[in-house]
Amino acid sequence: MIMEDKETSLSNFNKKRKSKEKELSNKIDKMCKDYPSIKDIIDEINTYGIYACMNNVSSEIFERKK
């Protein structure tokens, strides 16, 4: 029973994570359409993963763009 609870909890977590990833992906797509000049930066961030903006990778990307 404890294993089932862990599996259910993990499943719920993954569903929420996928939902948030999709939501963020849609926001990024809209932002790229509205502001094409940042599309290159967003594309580069996406090569490292959708949450790269929360890591040091984004700092490196923006420093290289200067």
CB 39 within 8 Å of CB 65: no
pTM to 2 decimal places: 0.44
User: Which of the 8 DSSP states describes residue 42?
Assistant: H
Q: Measured between alpha carbons, how far is 57 from 36 in angstroms, rounded to an integer?
A: 21
Which pLDDT score, from 0 to 100, does residue 6 have? 75
Which pLDDT score, from 0 to 100, does residue 58 have? 53
- Mean per-residue pLDDT over the chain, rounded: 72
Say whether pLDDT at 9 is over 70: yes
Q: Measured between alpha carbons, how far is 29 from 25 in angstroms, rounded to an integer?
A: 6
Which pLDDT score, from 0 to 100, does residue 28 have? 78
